């Protein structure tokens, strides 16, 4: 009986790449995020997206990886179609918007995966080991904890707006976009203030501010595996940059017809 409780406490819900050290995950997010903005060729960018997808799929969340890859392909194609439309100014604007979205997709793919596949305590402990002060770690953890609740809070607010008849139809949202944003933001910010205050009080009474060395429930280590993956990533980055500057980078993958 007791053995099984112990086993349950130590059970791991994430597998594969999701069990890598949180520091590595965040490092990859930063590196690949920058790369996404510095390479432009169709093929190198697609390769980057493919690598991110494979990496995410190897870590507990294959569905998410595939979904984002498909989104990427669809937006790429639609964006290409725009080149054949010539509405002055507008098509340029939409095209720029499309390119920005495309650059964000690998970052979103990886970012959401990091949030969903990382245990909070491991994040805290690994930051601490990396020498970050508590004053930086605590806001970071609170932010991570708050992101998943945003969707819930947003839905609650939208529901009451519909009951109150405030921005409840598509027409009203389109004709009063700023008012709509304001009506969503005010209660959201009020809730944020209240929740963060209560969270901080609750954390304080459970010793959150103690400056001692912490241990996570499961062992974590920035070990050989992490270094190997980091090295592979750096090779990939170099390869992508080289490809981007060579003829491969000039090849136009997305065309109509």
- Interacting residue ranges for another protein, rule: CB under 8 A: 2, 5-6, 8-11, 13, 119-121, 124-125, 141-142, 144-145, 148-149, 152-153, 156-157, 159-166, 168, 182-183, 186-187, 190-191, 194-195, 198-210, 212-217, 219
| Nearest distance, CB of residue 63 and another protein, angstroms | 15
239 within 8 A of 29, measured Cβ to Cβ: no
| Nearest distance, CB of residue 26 and another protein, angstroms | 17
b/e per residue 112-131 (b: at least 16 CB within 10 A):
ebbbbbbbebbbbbbbbbee
| Nearest distance, CB of residue 240 and another protein, angstroms | 33
**Which CB atom, from 149 or from 175, has the smaller least distance to another protein?**
149
Within 8 A by CB and 6+ apart from 243, the residues are 41, 43, 44, 47, 249
CA distance 133 to 140: 11
| Nearest distance, CB of residue 110 and another protein, angstroms | 18
| Nearest distance, CB of residue 70 and another protein, angstroms | 21
Q: What's the per-residue H, E or C state across 51-85?
A: HHHHHHHCCCCHHHHHHHHHHHHHHHHHHHHHHCC
**Which CB atom, from 13 or from 135, has the smaller least distance to another protein?**
13
Residue 1 in 3-state DSSP? coil
242 within 8 A of 32, measured Cβ to Cβ: no
**Which CB atom, from 209 or from 227, has the smaller least distance to another protein?**
209
């Amino acid at each position: 009986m007791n053995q099984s409780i112990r086993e349950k406490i130590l059970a791991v819900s994430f597998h594969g790449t999701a069990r890598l050290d949180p520091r590595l995950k965040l490092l990859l997010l930063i590196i690949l995020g920058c790369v996404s903005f510095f390479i432009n060729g169709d093929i190198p960018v697609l390769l980057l997206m493919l690598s991110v997808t494979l990496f995410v799929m190897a870590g507990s969340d294959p569905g998410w990886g595939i979904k984002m890859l498909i989104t990427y392909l669809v937006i790429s194609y639609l964006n290409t179609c725009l080149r054949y439309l010539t509405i002055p100014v507008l098509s340029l604007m939409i095209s720029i918007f499309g390119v920005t979205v495309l650059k964000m997709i690998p970052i979103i793919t990886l970012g959401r995966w990091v949030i969903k596949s990382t245990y909070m305590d491991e994040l805290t402990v690994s930051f601490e080991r990396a020498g970050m002060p508590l004053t930086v770690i605590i806001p970071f953890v609170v932010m991570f904890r708050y992101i998943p609740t945003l969707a819930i809070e947003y839905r609650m607010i939208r529901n009451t707006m519909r009951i109150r008849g405030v921005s409840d139809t598509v027409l009203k949202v389109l004709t009063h976009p700023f008012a709509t944003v304001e009506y969503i933001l005010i209660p959201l910010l009020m809730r944020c203030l209240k929740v963060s205050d209560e969270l901080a009080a609750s954390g304080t009474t459970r010793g959150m501010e103690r400056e001692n060395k912490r241990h996570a429930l499961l062992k974590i280590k920035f070990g050989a595996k992490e270094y190997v993956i980091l090295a592979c990533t750096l090779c990939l980055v170099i390869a992508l940059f080289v490809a981007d500057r060579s003829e491969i980078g000039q090849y136009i993958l997305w065309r109509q017809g």
